[in-house]
Homo-oligomer: A and B are copies of this chain.
Amino acid sequence: MPVSKKEISPCPIDAMLSVIDGRWKGTILWRLSERPLRTSELRRSIPGITERMLIRHLQELVRDGILVRHQEQTVPPCVRYSISKYGLTLVPVLEVICAWGRNHLKRTSGHGREWSQAAQPHRNVL
């Protein structure tokens, strides 16, 4: 529920999603969770991404404190991105999301209808 990425939403779920919302942010974080990478390395490791969107998403993630940008003042320039300490707190969340998504993919591809049953209400169950 992406909602507005620019404006600050009071809803925590919106706030969280806005951080990882973007066509390639998931993949970027996935790559960088393995090890820091240079911009060009990232681009090559993500087939289909454009220079424009890579830079843009990287900047947003840096702005949100998820990534850190390391620049070496050389010619030609060498920039490396890595996950920040704060960004590391995001990883477990992504894992939970990923786990559910993996399960969801199974269910959809194997189209069972078992899940179409109503459940009893809840909230205490949470």
Contacts and interface: CB of A to CB of B under 8 A. Distances in A.
Interface of A: 1-3, 8, 10-17, 19-27, 30, 33-36, 64-65, 68, 70, 82-105, 107-109, 113, 115-119, 121-126
A83 B118 CA distance: 6
Q: How many copies altogether? A: 2
Given A1-B23, A91-B122, A117-B84, A100 B16 contact: yes
Contacts of A36: 118, 121
Decide if the interface of chain A is mainly helix, strand, loop or mixed.
helix
B122 A88 contact: yes
Contacts of A20: 1, 17
A34 B123 contact: yes
